[in-house]
Chains A and B, each alone.
Chain A
Amino acid sequence: MGEIKPPSGEPGAPAAAQREYLSDDPRDIGWVRQNVPCQTACPAGTNVPVYIREIIERQYGRSYETNREANVLPGVLGRICSRPCESQCRHGWAGNGEPVAICHLKRVASDLKDAGHRITERLYSPTGKRVAIVGAGPAGVSAAHDLSLLGHDVVIFEREERPGGMLRYGIPEFRLPRGTLDIEMHNALRLGVQMRTGAEIGNGAGQIPMSRLEAEFDAVLLATGCMAASPLPLQGEWEKRDLRGLEGVEYGLDFLVQMHRGVKKTVGRRVAVVGAGFTALDCARVAARLGAQEVTIHIRTAEEYIPVTQEEIFEAKREGVRIKGLRTPVGLTAEGNRLTGIEFVQNRLGGWRNSGRRQAIPIEGSEFHEPCDTIIIAIGQQTVNDFLGTKLELDRWGNVRVGVDGMTSHKGLFAAGDYVNGASTVVQAVGHGRLVAKRIDAWLMGRERRKQVVRIVPVEKPLRERAFDFIPRQHMPTAQLAERMKDGKHEVELGLDEKLAFEEAKRCYLCNLRYEIDVDRCIFCRACIEVAPRNCIKLVRGVEINEDGAYGKLLETKEWNQVGAIWIDNNECIRCGQCYTACPVQCISISRCELTEVEI
């Protein structure tokens, strides 16, 4: 299967490496996309099964580097990732148990690698091209790293005093220690990226105009994120009132940014947080640490539908935060200029939005009041465009519109991350930053220099045991309440130790292993079907081919005279290896298939 290319292994390399080959066959690329759901779900395309396998082998440094090929911030994302991979993990599918703790294992690679660990980078020779990046958040830093590897001279302009963007100014230290952030930022930028902090883009005094960047650089990338808090839509007398002047009103993003800039923040005894994302949860947990007696998060739908992890919700609750659902604020109450409470309307659940979020439908006549001393509004963030001094095409949400090449309506001006996609997640920003870096490189060089292929490596025997399937998900140890609430910096999650990490890593099905039956050698004895723990080995008369050339639906049959092959349905397969062991004629082969990039 696939286009066979010369072996990539060096003389003297292990036999398997000698026999590995690269394929750009759409069936192979499609196979990986369909069968490795964690990697497909990761916006950065992290090679999850490989880095987990390396943890099983206790090669933590190599595992960290595997992560770093896709994302330059493994230690950061190992702590604060929104984990789109885990919701797709095959181990979490119905009947298979709980998903693998992929995110926690990413942190393991970072935590347990050797001190003085050697970083691997694939450097290209200098191109002489200059790229300016506005914003040193996750998208900007990821793009800067990749562009500098590709040989371009990169300068980042950052208005804050230190790089990191939302990572440094929006996420509390009890979730993301700044030591980890500093190291990974430094590693991402040390290959010659110039970092100009305190440099604000705009047309005011002391600011750098965009026109200067466009004149001095071959390409400019805007990665300023969403740095304006969305206003709270209220009704009646509150509809047009500016809430910022009201004592007791805070906007979540500003609240966190100011705190991380060093401004001393205080909250009242009863704090109400309005919002359902990570920012809302962070604000609530910060409020609890600032001494609030009652902290309640008010959400429009229900806990099941909010886009944060269950572990974060549980830890917030342990810290005394309560969550109340099915309510939308419609007004505030105040005495003079001081907030005294919130007017809500009761909701019922509606259908699903295109974004995958649940709708909430207000119920007429169901208004009620809840007293509070502080409200923290954390319902979302928006982009700010006034610094540009020029008009770019925007979409209906006010985000900058870009083409497939990542370029805005201005030639040479690119955009990435939340500045394009609206408020999203760190891993989405990292993934998009890398993607746009590739587009910028192609535009600067007049051609794409790298393409995606599948590396296929024969595997001698099953890498898993059936017993691994019954290991329960290992829980993240956390700091005791008294310890963590002492200050705002004590990290809550303590990380998996080597023993826990090994147990958790063994749970991974290693979905990148492809089990295949050689029909020419198969004697149709059914031994594999007898031992299969699931309905994963099927009698088929054929296989459909999708439009993109990948394998599609299996055409199953029960009539022996129609059987064209016994086929391992890799979608159902949990890579337990039972079939491989049972086969009397060794007609089942195993190969490791992983996406990688090669020079064109």
Chain B
Amino acid sequence: MATAKNVRHHVVIGSGVAGSQAAETLRECEPDARVTILTLSSLLFYNRYDLPKVFRGHRDWREFLAYPAEYYRERRIGMRRCSRVAGVDAKRRAILLDHKEEIRFDTLLVASGGRGYVPEELSEFRPLMHPFSSYTEAMVAANEVPDRGHVIMLGGDMIGLDLARTLLDTRHRVTLVAGPQTFWPHEVGADERPGLVAALEKMGIEVVEGADAGGIASIEKGARGLSSRRVLFKDGTELYGDVVMPFFGLVPSVEFMLGSGVDIERGLLVNPALRTTNEGIYAAGDVCQIWSDAERRYRFYYGWKNVRAMGDLAARNIAGGADPWVPAQDETLHVTADGNIQSPFWEYE
């Protein structure tokens, strides 16, 4: 019989799709175990894929929550919000929180996801950009863009292009400064790109190839009487808009794992069973690079279905399984017969 002393403590870092799914599966697999989610967010798990709805007038945070608080209580899943992890000591199986609290674990699942990447050469202009990777950021951006306002989108990954669809639907103007990260995480060949860019233009997005203008020289506040943002290119051309939003793909949130003893390249390196180089630590979602036997390399798998499946698989393997990772969704970018772009990364249940 499980007693307070001998139950295992499973800790999940991250309350996104992967982390929440993992906690749910862990509870199913090990009814007596202690399951704790640590999240930096002040909100319970919400659907990041739903965030464009803020431009359709949905502003109440409660509308975005996937589950009410009772859901976690009923399942005895401890939810620690506003908890920033400062470091992980893999040997001692201890997590140090930023406020100096130490949490011991038997197994740890890192599902801290990724944050919006901003190329280092643009980092000094961060204060003038509006990212869109959390509810708070979405609300700030939505409040900043006026009715029928003009959004300048940099990069144009699939998260951004999904938002662009909503912006166009809601009668905003969207100008995309395209570059290597356009269509990320799809890997688009040079021969496919013109057709896809044409499809974007058909959707109503105005496309500027950043490289044709020599790249971005600076982002500035617009002068009095002009739009509030100006993007200046190295060839001297410029764009005016109400907000500048960066969409250059995701970068894994792994800083707190540096020095933990777990192998990292860009993300946490995991075997096909999603276990890191430490036997008690697993990873799932946008934070991990999974070894692919077929491709002979470590690679990321993106998309809601993949991430959820990773959370589920990692939890089952933590509970004693040894199943390998099998991708859960198609990664091909399509142009439909009527010339519209269709991405599997836009499919969300």
Contact = CB atoms under 8 A, between A and B. Distances in A.
A363 B291 CA distance: 11
Given A325-B266, A349-B263, A365-B296, A94 B89 contact: yes
B265 A95 contact: no
Nearest to B291: A348
Given A95-B96, A482-B217, A326 B298 contact: yes
Nearest to A317: B120
A303 B298 CA distance: 15
18 contacts: A94-B89, A95-B87, A302-B263, A302-B264, A303-B265, A304-B258, A304-B264, A314-B120, A317-B119, A318-B123, A318-B124, A326-B265, A348-B269, A349-B263, A363-B296, A365-B296, A482-B217, A482-B218
B86 A320 contact: no
B297 interface: yes
Given A304-B264, A325-B265, A366-B296, A318 B121 contact: yes
B100 interface: yes
A18 interface: no
Contacts of A365: 296
B121 A481 contact: yes
A318 B120 contact: yes
Given A95-B86, A95-B96, A349 B269 contact: yes
Contacts of A482: 217-218
B214 to A, nearest CB: 11
B147 to A, nearest CB: 35
A314 B251 CA distance: 14
A479 B291 CA distance: 40
Interface string A94-133: 1100000000000000000000000000000000000000
Contacts of A481: 121, 124
A94 B264 contact: no
Interface string A357-378: 0000001011000000000000
A363 B120 CA distance: 31
A220 to B, nearest CB: 44
A365 B87 CA distance: 36
A319 interface: yes
A50 B277 CA distance: 42
Contacts of B298: 326, 348
Contacts of A34: none
A349 B266 CA distance: 13
A482 B214 CA distance: 13
A301 B217 CA distance: 33
Contacts of A363: 296-297
Interface string B234-277: 00000000000000000000000010000111100100000001
Closest 8 CB pairs of A and B: A366-B296, A317-B120, A318-B120, A302-B265, A349-B263, A346-B297, A325-B265, A318-B121
B89 A95 contact: no
Given A95-B100, A349-B269, A320 B121 contact: yes
A355 interface: no
Contacts of B100: 95
Greatest chain A CB density within 10 A among B96, B119, B296 is at: B296
A390 interface: no
Interface in B79-136: 86-87, 89, 96, 100, 119-121, 123-124
Greatest chain A CB density within 10 A among B120, B123, B217, B269 is at: B120
A319 B121 contact: yes
A480 interface: yes
Contact of B297 (A314, A318, A349, A366): A366
A48 B17 CA distance: 47
Interface of B: 86-87, 89, 96, 100, 119-121, 123-124, 217-218, 258, 263-266, 269, 277, 291, 296-298
A276 to B, nearest CB: 13
Greatest chain A CB density within 10 A among B86, B119, B297 is at: B297
Interface in A468-501: 480-482
Greatest chain A CB density within 10 A among B86, B119, B217, B266 is at: B266
Interface in A278-323: 302-304, 314, 317-320
A528 to B, nearest CB: 20
B88 to A, nearest CB: 10
A407 B234 CA distance: 58
A494 to B, nearest CB: 13
Contacts of B123: 318
Contacts of A480: 124
Contacts of A95: 86-87, 96, 100
B96 to A, nearest CB: 6
B293 to A, nearest CB: 10
Interface in A419-453: none
A318 B263 CA distance: 25
A317 B122 CA distance: 10
Nearest to B100: A95
Contacts of A314: 120
A82 B168 CA distance: 51
B296 A346 contact: yes
A482 B215 CA distance: 12
Nearest to A299: B265
Nearest to A349: B263
A325 B264 CA distance: 10
B297 A94 contact: no
Contacts of B258: 304
Greatest chain B CB density within 10 A among A302, A314, A365, A480 is at: A302
A318 B124 CA distance: 9
Nearest to A87: B259
Greatest chain A CB density within 10 A among B87, B218, B265 is at: B265
A331 to B, nearest CB: 17
Contacts of B263: 302, 349
A480 to B, nearest CB: 7
Contacts of B89: 94
A94 B86 CA distance: 8
Contacts of A349: 263, 265, 269, 277
A481 B291 CA distance: 37
Nearest to B295: A366
A317 B119 CA distance: 8
Greatest chain A CB density within 10 A among B86, B269, B298 is at: B298
Greatest chain B CB density within 10 A among A95, A325, A363, A366 is at: A95
Contact of A94 (B96, B119, B277): B96
B65 to A, nearest CB: 33
Contacts of B124: 318, 480-481
Nearest to A345: B296
A366 B264 CA distance: 19
Contacts of A348: 269, 291, 298
Contacts of B86: 94-95
A325 B89 CA distance: 24
Nearest to A363: B296
Greatest chain B CB density within 10 A among A304, A346, A365, A480 is at: A304
A99 B29 CA distance: 42
A320 B263 CA distance: 26
Contacts of B297: 326, 346, 363, 366
A304 B266 CA distance: 9
A578 to B, nearest CB: 16
A320 B121 CA distance: 6
Interface string A309-353: 000001001111000011000000000000000000010110000
Interface string A506-528: 00000000000000000000000
Contacts of B266: 302-303, 325
A75 B95 CA distance: 40
A349 B89 CA distance: 20
A363 B293 CA distance: 10
Contacts of B291: 348
Contacts of B121: 317-320, 481
B219 to A, nearest CB: 12
A193 to B, nearest CB: 43
Contacts of B296: 346, 363, 365-366
B87 A94 contact: yes
